[in-house]
Chains A and B, each alone.
Chain A
Amino acid sequence: MPTTANVVYQYDGSFDGLLCSVFESYDKKEIPLDIVLPDATQMMLVPIKNIPTDSGKAKRVLASIPAKIGFLALDFVQHAFLTCFTQKELYILLFLRLGYRHGANVMEMLADDVVHTMVKAVRHLDRESHLFKGFIRFSIFNHILVAEIEPKNYVLPLLLQHFCERYPEERFLIYDKTHGMALVYQPYQSAIIPIDDLVLPEPDEAEESYRELWQVFYNTIEIKGRHNPKCRMNLMPKRYWKYMTEFGNTQYNHRKVLKGQDGLLKALSHKELF
């Protein structure tokens, strides 16, 4: 029986790194108090153990998950890793430990505390990524579709397939401001790359007029006799409004083109990013 050890694991933030922590936990027959990122700055009263990422160990753990717990569980864990749940690393470890013991049945243990917590976090991620499929707004600059989002969870990998299937012949970029990453696509090639900042150029006339047309539509479609802002807020929380065209967001209009900032867009129109 493993014991809860008086130790905190520190991993490099990658999925492989986390798998190595799982390896370490089994190797030392111990369960850490928490698994933290390298930049965790809080005062630690317990010793921190640095877990180096070893691709060999990671591969062994990765291969064991579908073999011992099933593909559904692997998919589930990979999703859980994208969530914004603060203790996701520790819970993934606990979940895998349960999984190695119970096999594929672990996916049915919905009443278990660990599984329940994970399911809740993944549901939050799935819901957010589903909403973004609808709420993302592209602006077209020089035939390139550009959108900005500020998600809580790391949703880009979940949006990739949807938007690639939706716009197979377009070039587009979705910038995730929270995580400093961007999903870039040009016909039949996609990538998720780190980006520091993105400043967009002024919209051209066509872009402006379609934005206005959309606002006309949005404001007209409401039935005034049924006005119900609370219901709207439930279905479309305010944090999503910031980048939505219908709320007359004019931040694009007043943004000035700073030097070198349209370099990224130029890069997109060439193949430099890939």
Chain B
Amino acid sequence: MDVFEKLKILTDAAKYDVACTSSGVNKKTPKGGIGSAAACGICHSFSADGRCISLLKVLMTNVCAYDCKYCVNRHSNDTPRAAFTPRELADLTINFYRRNYIEGLFLSSGVLKNPDYTCEQMIETLRILREEYRFFGYIHAKAIPGADSALVSRLGMLADRMSINIELPSQDSLNLLAPDKSKHSILTPMRYIQNRIQENSMDLVKYKHAPKFVPAGQSTQMIIGATPDTDLQILNLTEGLYKKYKLKRVFFSAYMPVIENSFLPTIDTEPPLWREHRLYQADWLLRFYGFAANELLDEQNQSFNPYVDPKCNWALHHLDFFPMDVNRAPYSDLLRVPGIGVNSAKRIVTARRMTTLSFESLKKLGVVLKRAQYFITCKGKKNESFKITENAILQSLMSEKTRKEYQMKFSQREAIDQLSLFDMPFKVQPNFLQEDIVKCLQQQM
């Protein structure tokens, strides 16, 4: 089998891994080496599904001893199998890297023979890259659950980032779909890596040139929509992972039906892309906006509102928090206004030192007034130049896409202009109540 065929098979098998980030570490190459890394990460291309291509994302091998039901590489699946030799893969990486196709390597693997053997193959690849080619670019390695901790540790010394996929958000789901994996076998190496990173940061304080262990941190990923877990469960788990395991990122992947199985959604199920999108929005709110998981969802509302984003949803539930004066509100409060993001909040804080901000100047700072105007005041005044109607509020809070869907649904029944909030359809449970909206409107008028 030639490299072309191997690359095709092993890329095809790796593409369901979401993470393709090259962020989290700044590195320069010493004399005689090749490669660097930028903390912001660099995207080298975008595939036709709109996902970033930053790393050469392949499997070492797609031969697998496990039989996880959701996975294309499970051993009972009839699919062509291939394996790179460490040398082949290292050559390919370095040649792609020289041509600036990629920022580095994302190496994962099916379990060939046993976890230890697989891990050794991966280590050999990284060793050739790091030691023989003196490659200092980005390497993301997947830890193989069940591999010896000495091997995981060796892998971590060679890689910039490591990840272990949680795959399914609860033990029950794991039992059902991935009988060879358990919560324990996933969380143990994750904890181990976290402890090593911690130890290493102590070493770095003592010895400036101590070798770095996984300098860009660890991440994980889980599949959304293959099991009946709710958004609330997933978000709580995500928050726990950030807090307890100090993860850098948690990725979500909408389940793409690839296999017919009675435990899984049928093969013609649409992947729950909007749900994945809402989860990422919430994930951002947890990481950069100072929100807690229990503020976004609770026992009564276990799923995200399909029509408005989680931040907007929160704002509509907490109208007593608004309106706030942009010239006085602290940074942390500004972040809670729909239409103000991290960048625009920072710019507001900077710009208001020099001048009192008006609605006109907010526009220049990148605030989306269409959304923010209902929640803010400037110099104690509301924005008067906008005519406010029920319909306008609702529609302006929805994104382009949902608005179109929403209008499509209702265009036959009544003219779009006549739309009333009270006809709002809810796919899931209503996340904001009618009286909330009425209250919102009364405040506006």
Residue positions of A touching B, CB distance < 8 A: 102, 105, 108-112, 116, 130, 133-140, 145, 147, 162, 165-170, 210, 212-214, 216-218, 220-232, 234-236, 244-246
Contacts and interface: CB of A to CB of B under 8 A. Distances in A.
28 contacts: A108-B350, A110-B347, A112-B355, A137-B101, A138-B98, A139-B99, A140-B98, A162-B36, A166-B29, A166-B34, A213-B7, A214-B96, A216-B4, A216-B8, A217-B11, A218-B45, A218-B47, A220-B11, A220-B12, A222-B51, A225-B271, A227-B48, A228-B48, A232-B47, A232-B49, A236-B45, A236-B46, A246-B45
A218 B49 contact: no
A134 B50 contact: no
Interface stretch (B209-217, B222-230, B357-365): B357-365
Interface of B: 3-4, 7-8, 11-12, 15-16, 28-29, 31-36, 38, 40, 42-54, 56-57, 92, 95-96, 98-101, 103, 254, 256, 271, 273, 347, 350-351, 353-355, 357, 361, 364-365
A262 B179 CA distance: 61
B98 A220 contact: no
Nearest to A211: B99
B96 to A, nearest CB: 6
B96 A235 contact: no
B43 to A, nearest CB: 5
Nearest to B95: A210
Given A228-B50, A235-B43, A145 B98 contact: yes
A141 B45 CA distance: 23
Nearest to B56: A217
Contacts of B52: 235
Given A138-B100, A214-B96, A222-B47, A108 B353 contact: yes
Interface of B is mostly: loop
6 closest residue pairs by CB, A with B = A231-B50, A111-B361, A226-B49, A110-B351, A228-B50, A220-B11
A116 B361 CA distance: 10
Given A108-B351, A134-B103, A140-B99, A222 B45 contact: no
Contact of B100 (A136, A228, A231): A136
A122 to B, nearest CB: 14
Contacts of A169: 32-34
A137 B45 CA distance: 10
B223 to A, nearest CB: 13
Given A213-B7, A214-B101, A222 B354 contact: no
B34 A168 contact: yes
B317 to A, nearest CB: 30
Contacts of A214: 96, 99, 101
Q: Among A102, A108, A111, A231, which residue has the most Cβ atoms of chain B within 10 A?
A: A111
Given A110-B365, A134-B45, 4 more contacts: A108-B353, A111-B361, A223-B15, A226-B51
B8 A220 contact: yes
B8 A110 contact: no
Contacts of A137: 99-101
A272 to B, nearest CB: 24
Contacts of B35: 166
A168 B44 CA distance: 20
B40 to A, nearest CB: 8
B43 A229 contact: no
B271 A226 contact: yes
B363 to A, nearest CB: 9
Given A227-B49, A232-B47, A109 B98 contact: no
Contacts of A166: 29, 34-36, 100
B297 to A, nearest CB: 25
A50 to B, nearest CB: 35
Contacts of A236: 43, 45-46
Nearest to A105: B354
A133 B44 CA distance: 8
A213 B101 CA distance: 11
A110 B11 CA distance: 46
Given A167-B34, A168-B34, A218 B96 contact: no
A236 B50 CA distance: 9
B15 A232 contact: no
Contacts of B33: 168-169
Q: Among B31, B36, B47, B52, which residue has the most Cβ atoms of chain A within 10 A?
A: B47
Contacts of B350: 108, 110
B303 to A, nearest CB: 22
A162 B100 CA distance: 12
